[in-house]
Amino acid sequence: MEKIRSVLREVEILFLVENLTKKFHDNVVLDNLTLSFERGDVIALIGSSGAGKSTFLRSLNYLEKPDNGCLTLENQTFDFSTIKKQEILELRQQTAMVFQQFNLFERKTALENVKEGLKIVKKLSDKEAGEIASFELDKVGLSDRKNYFPKHLSGGQKQRVGIARALAMNPKLLLLDEPTSALDPELVTEVQMTIQKAAKEGQTMLLVSHEMAFVREVATKVIFLENGQIIESGLTDDVFNRPENVRTREFLSQNQQKFEPEFVL
């Protein structure tokens, strides 16, 4: 019996998104989207600019206010049409976002940036927050930069601080919105390797990226969005090698990059 329960835990549905809809005026950006996550999934959202990828990501932790839809996180369901302030806080305590532009506090050190959410959201003491922040900065290879201000860090280092800040919150779901798009090409790999390390450690993620080689390496599943709709979804190998939808094939043929195995840690 315990073996059966163990298997069930391994495939436990962590997130269930149902009928997610978002409009900007008369423009439907998310059109009644439904999907589920299993624990440890790394789901990549791909598609052309304007497909709704970033809006989908931001809607999940209410940085964008959806018009309709429900989100179930383990045993708790959030109805976006009736969600209350306390529920928004609870939702954000269980998710974390990594942004394109880092969004670091310029007048706080790397360590202080990572500590901030732990103190404000998690209500930890400065000592407890400092211990966790130091641990996470060490994991992303920045233990020697923890007392540096953002202006003294490279773009790749800033983004790794952003990832450490997100992981320090111990999120059930990590949201990454084009985490390498603002970086110079030579800085991309260090951030991708940091993300891949977190994936290997079992962090559940929803990733928006235009880097198809990296998506192919890190994602367990891929969702192709077009005009706010899910055109195709499936295991990464199936979507890349055996896409069923004509539009998916067109997109991948135009955006394929050389597969780069050096992403492996």
Q: Are residues 25 and 59 in the same domain?
A: yes
pLDDT digits (tens, 9 = 90+) for 51-76: 999 999 999 989 999 999 999 887 78
Q: Are residues 166 and 185 in the same domain?
A: no
| pTM for the model | 0.87
The average confidence (pLDDT) of the chain is: 88
pLDDT range class, residue 182, cuts 50, 70, 90: confident
Q: Are residues 196 and 90 in the same domain?
A: yes
The CATH number of the domain holding residue 68 is 3.40.50.300
pLDDT digits (tens, 9 = 90+) for 198-244: 999 999 999 999 999 999 999 999 999 999 999 999 999 999 999 99
Instruction: Check residue 76 and give its pLDDT.
Output: 86
Using the 3D structure, point to which of 127, 153, 170 is the last residue of a domain.
Answer: 170
Q: Distance between CA 101 and CA 83 in Å, rounded? A: 28
Q: Are residues 108 and 49 in the same domain?
A: no
The Cα-based distances of 220 to 72, 130, 196, 215 in angstroms read 21, 33, 12, 9
Q: Is residue 124 part of a domain?
A: yes
How many percent of the chain have pLDDT more than 70?
Answer: 91
pLDDT range class, residue 256, cuts 50, 70, 90: low
Residue range of the domain that includes 154: 104-170
pLDDT digits (tens, 9 = 90+) for 111-169: 999 999 999 888 899 999 999 999 999 999 999 999 999 999 999 999 999 999 999 99
Using the 3D structure, point to which of 155, 170, 185 is the last residue of a domain.
Answer: 170
Using the 3D structure, point to which of 127, 146, 170 is the last residue of a domain.
Answer: 170
Q: Distance between CA 45 and CA 20 in Å, rounded? A: 15
Q: Are residues 148 and 196 in the same domain?
A: no
Mean pLDDT, rounded, for 11-26: 82
* Cβ-contact 120, 93 below 8 angstroms: no
DSSP at 110: H
Number of domains forming the structure of the chain: 2
Q: Are residues 85 and 150 in the same domain?
A: no
Q: Are residues 88 and 37 in the same domain?
A: yes
Q: Are residues 69 and 157 in the same domain?
A: no
Q: Is the dihedral of CA 93, 94, 99, 105 positive or negative?
A: positive
* Cβ-contact 130, 119 below 8 angstroms: no
The Cα-based distances of 211 to 2, 54, 226, 231 in angstroms read 41, 15, 17, 19
Q: Are residues 132 and 238 in the same domain?
A: no
Q: Are residues 121 and 15 in the same domain?
A: no
Q: Distance between CA 236 and CA 144 in Å, rounded? A: 36
Q: Is residue 212 part of a domain?
A: yes
pLDDT range class, residue 6, cuts 50, 70, 90: very low
Q: Is residue 99 part of a domain?
A: no
Q: Is residue 42 part of a domain?
A: yes
Other beta carbons within 10 angstroms of residue 232's beta carbon come to 21
pLDDT range class, residue 13, cuts 50, 70, 90: low
Which value, in Å, is the radius of gyration of the alpha carbons in the chain?
Answer: 18
Instruction: Check residue 12 and give its pLDDT.
Output: 57
Q: Are residues 179 and 161 in the same domain?
A: no
Q: Are residues 164 and 180 in the same domain?
A: no
Q: Is residue 152 part of a domain?
A: yes
